[in-house]
């Protein structure tokens, strides 16, 4: 008989039964834990990763570089776009003499025969050509996204270039003394400038045997050097041509600045006379009222609108100039309007009735034409270019210590075959003293003749044959060279900003770093009738030396006659008799109070009126000269790796 399952017994012993089952499960779990390793997989994975990390020496992996390469390609392409845009306007600057094959890249060399011909005739012939270029008038067209704008490059140039000794001699503030030059130039050096008398190497040589220009006028400004006795080597050829090309562009830029001062723009006609032609520049406003037969109405006017609100002379009989304007249209139509008479006060207009009948012939005012003021040397607002210096002498003087300049990175250094030859009795290839000889140094714009300026001991890094300074750049790499440039001018103070803006916008992409100026004393006193020194401008109907209709005493508002505004000092300044000169007590004033003014004698109506506004202006800048684009792949760099070939200059979207 089968045993019966007693449910009651189970109910009574349920606790102990469950306790036994749980104990059994716990024992089984402990046994399983002891014989198994649940973290073995994770532990092995961790250990494997740890070994991989220890094997890595660089944090960059295969996913790190592709994004950076993509950005590099993007920036390189954009750099090339900018490089190409910067190079294209500069390409026409660089000049190669006729007779020598034009070279594209600095590592290309002229032949030995070409270099010999360069020494014998091609080098000098360039300066002959450029002197003719400066002396010739020409019209220049500017295309700026609007109607073509014409500028007249005036010539024979009314600007005086250099002096009897050129750029490096005869210029206060540069090497050499003041020999000749403009009569308005002071006899001594300007404030903050040093004067030298040539270098220790003899004529045409600076200290250290460095060649300097001894040529007069434009040739000196362009940096013409003395005759070479040894043909330049290829490196020197490139240096000489860059020097000439940069200086030539600077001369052109300064002529363009004068053109900007002279050019007249057309304004809308007044409502009461819609047929009038109104032309204006920074100094004058012409209102021309045309009549039948090309005549100009007597109601046409010339108005003084000078930006500084000052009176202006119309002519100078002694110096042979009048206020003249040129109207040009087409190839053959040229009309000159000339004005003379008493000085014209600011804001006043004078009708053509006072100047006589004028005619424009076949000129059609309804068509495009050029209007510009024409200057002579004696009334040119950009009176003189005293000097242009580059490299060491072109550095600004803010820190009084020139920077260590660099050589051109893309220009290969001299090789053994380039160093053959040499001159006798001095620097190889040039007459004069031995290289490195101490003594008088080439002057510069830095006061006191400090080393690297007026006291430079020759080139920092000279070429072997002709002692040319190859260290001339603040920055030099495969793309760009930063070249220090300094220019000293004599200019009307009203046009300083015109000069600065023209320089800043020229093809050399110049950054102006420092500007200095000082007043130029009058080249002659104001004269009154009879040739005696006068008291002032002498406008008809004005108090002696005063200005008509203003009520101001001589010298202007707030000034005692001849004195300084707001100072209470007598004319001439402290420690001087009225109108006197320092150190000369008791000297009588210049001019006779109450005497007739200049305007009382038409023959002397404008003597000295314009000269009093001239200043000596020295401008320091850094030019950015770009290497040819596209670069030559694999071309070696001086002290660096070969240049990479440029990628296509594609725009970046």
Q: Are residues 301 and 227 in the same domain?
A: no
CA angle in degrees (0–180, nearest 5) for 327-330-334: 35
Q: Are residues 494 and 389 in the same domain?
A: yes
Give CA separation, 544 vs 343, 563, 571, 602, in Å. Answer: 15, 15, 16, 17
Going by C-alpha positions, the residue among 235, 176, 230 that lies closest to residue 203 is 176
Strands 382-390 and 160-161: parallel
Q: Are residues 448 and 346 in the same domain?
A: no
Tell me, yes or no, whether 561 lies in a domain: no
Q: For 132-191, list the strands marked E by DSSP.
A: 138-142, 149-153, 160-161
Q: Are residues 250 and 274 in the same domain?
A: no
Q: Are 464 and 428 in contact (CB under 8 A)?
A: yes
Q: Is the pTM of this model over 0.75?
A: no
Q: What is the pLDDT of residue 561?
A: 37
Going from the C-alpha of 102 to that of each of 96, 109, 111, 118, 510, the distances in angstroms are 6, 10, 12, 13, 26
pLDDT in tens, 55-68: 777 767 777 888 88
- Exposure class string for 518-548: b at 16+ Cβ within 10 A, else e: eebebeeebbbbeeebbbbbbbeebbbbbbb
Q: Is residue 161 part of a domain?
A: yes
- Are 530 and 515 found together in one domain? no
CA distances from 277 to 280, 325, 326, 491 (A): 10, 14, 14, 30
pLDDT on residue 464: 87
Residue at 90 is within a domain: no
Same domain assignment for residues 228 and 370: no
Amino acid 500: pLDDT: 98
Picking from 334, 358, 378, the residue at the C-terminal end of a domain is 378
Give the end of a domain, one of 359, 378, 397. Answer: 378
Write down the pLDDT at residue 552.
37
447 within some domain: yes
Residues 121 and 256 in one domain: yes
Same domain, yes or no: 359 and 480: no
Residue 540 structural domain:
525-545+593-601
**Is 244 a member of any domain?**
yes
Q: Domain check: are 303 and 359 in the same one?
A: yes
Same domain? 400 vs 473: yes
| Pair 222, 317 in one domain | no
Q: Is residue 650 part of a domain?
A: no
Two structure tokens written together for 321: 């100039």
Alpha-carbon distance of 448 to 454, in angstroms, equals: 7
Q: In whole angstroms, what is the distance from residue 432 CA to residue 458 CA?
A: 13
What is the model's pLDDT at position 99? 86
Distance CA 528, CA 129 (A): 45
Does a structural domain hold residue 223? yes
User: In the structure encoding, which two tokens stand for residue 217, read together?
Assistant: 């006028």
Total domains, the chain: 3
324 Cβ partners below 8 Å, 6+ apart? 336, 337, 338, 339, 373, 374
Indicate whether 631 belongs to any domain: no
- Same domain, yes or no: 185 and 257: yes
Q: What is the reported pLDDT for 394?
A: 92
Q: Which residues of the chain are under the pLDDT cut of 50?
A: 1, 164-203, 207-208, 421-428, 430-456, 526-607, 639-641, 645-653
Neighbouring C-alpha atoms within 13 Å toward the C-beta of 309: 3
DSSP state of 290: B
Residue 530 DSSP code: G
The predicted pLDDT at position 248 comes to 97
Instruction: Tabulate helix, strand, coil % of the chain (nearest 5).
Output: 25, 20, 55
CB 587 within 8 A of CB 570: no
What pLDDT shows up at residue 51? 85
The residues pairing with 138 across neighbouring beta strands, listed in sequence order, are 153
Q: What is the pLDDT of residue 187?
A: 33
Question: If DSSP codes are grouped into helix, strand and coil, which group holds residue 286?
Answer: strand
Q: 624 and 482 in contact (C-beta within 8 Å)?
A: yes
């Amino acid at each position: 008989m089968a045993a019966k399952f007693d449910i009651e017994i189970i109910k009574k012993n349920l606790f102990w039964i469950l306790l036994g089952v749980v104990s059994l499960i716990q024992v089984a779990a402990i046994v399983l834990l002891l014989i198994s390793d649940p973290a073995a997989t994770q532990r092995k994975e961790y250990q494997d990763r740890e070994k991989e990390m220890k094997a890595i020496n660089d944090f960059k992996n295969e996913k790190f570089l592709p994004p950076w390469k993509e950005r590099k390609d993007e920036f390189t392409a954009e750099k090339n776009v900018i490089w190409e845009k910067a190079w294209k306007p500069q390409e026409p600057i660089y000049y190669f003499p006729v007779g020598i094959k034009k070279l594209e890249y600095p590592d290309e060399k002229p032949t030995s025969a070409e270099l010999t011909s360069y020494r014998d005739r091609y080098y000098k012939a360039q300066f002959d050509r450029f002197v003719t270029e400066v002396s010739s008038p020409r019209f220049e067209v500017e295309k700026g996204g609007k109607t073509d704008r014409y500028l007249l490059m005036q010539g024979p140039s009314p600007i005086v270039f250099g002096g009897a000794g050129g750029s490096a001699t005869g210029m206060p503030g540069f090497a050499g003394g003041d020999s000749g030059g403009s009569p308005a130039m002071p006899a001594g050096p300007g404030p903050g400038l040093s004067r030298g008398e040539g270098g220790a190497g003899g004529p045409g040589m600076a200290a250290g045997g460095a060649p300097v220009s001894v040529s007069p006028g434009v040739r000196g400004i362009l940096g013409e050097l003395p005759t070479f006795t040894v043909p330049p080597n290829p490196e020197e050829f490139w240096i000489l041509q860059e020097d000439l090309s940069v200086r030539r562009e600077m001369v052109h830029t300064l002529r363009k600045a004068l053109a900007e001062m002279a050019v007249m723009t057309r304004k809308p006609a007044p409502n009461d006379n819609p047929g009038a032609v109104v032309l204006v520049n920074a100094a004058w406003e012409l209102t021309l009222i045309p009549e039948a037969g090309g005549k100009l109405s007597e109601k046409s006017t010339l108005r003084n609108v000078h930006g500084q609100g000052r009176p202006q002379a119309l002519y100078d009989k002694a110096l042979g100039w009048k206020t003249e304007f040129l109207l040009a249209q087409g190839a053959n139509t040229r009309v000159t309007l000339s004005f003379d008479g008493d000085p014209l006060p600011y804001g006043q207009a004078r009708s053509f009735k006072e100047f006589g009948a004028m005619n424009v012939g076949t000129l059609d005012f309804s068509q495009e034409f050029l209007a510009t003021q024409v200057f002579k040397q004696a009334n040119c607002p950009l009176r003189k270019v005293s000097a242009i210096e580059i490299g060491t002498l072109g550095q600004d003087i803010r820190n009084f210590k020139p920077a260590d300049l660099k050589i051109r990175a893309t220009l290969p250094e001299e090789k053994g075959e380039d160093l053959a030859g040499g001159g006798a009795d001095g620097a190889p290839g040039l007459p004069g003293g031995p290289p490195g000889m101490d003594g008088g140094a080439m002057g510069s714009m830095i006061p006191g003749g400090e080393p690297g300026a007026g006291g430079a001991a020759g080139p920092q890094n000279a070429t072997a044959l002709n002692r040319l300074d190859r260290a001339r750049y603040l920055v030099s790499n495969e793309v760009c060279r930063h070249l220090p440039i300094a220019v000293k001018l004599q200019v009307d103070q009203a046009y300083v900003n015109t000069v600065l803006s023209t320089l800043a916008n020229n093809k050399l992409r110049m950054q102006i770093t420092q500007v200095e100026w000082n007043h130029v004393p009058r080249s002659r006193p104001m004269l009154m009738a009879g040739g005696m020194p006068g008291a002032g401008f002498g406008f008809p109907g004005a108090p002696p030396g005063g200005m008509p209709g203003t009520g101001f005493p001589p010298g202007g508002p707030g000034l005692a006659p001849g004195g300084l505004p707001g100072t209470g000092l007598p004319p001439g300044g402290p420690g001087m008799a009225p109108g006197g000169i320092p150190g000369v007590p008791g000297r009588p004033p210049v001019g006779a109070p109450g005497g007739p003014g200049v305007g009382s004698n038409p023959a002397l109506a404008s003597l000295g009126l314009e000269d009093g506004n001239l200043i000596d202006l020295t401008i320091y800048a850094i030019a950015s000269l770009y290497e040819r684009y596209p670069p030559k792949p694999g071309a070696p760099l001086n002290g660096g790796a070969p240049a990479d070939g440029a990628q296509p200059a594609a725009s970046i979207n």
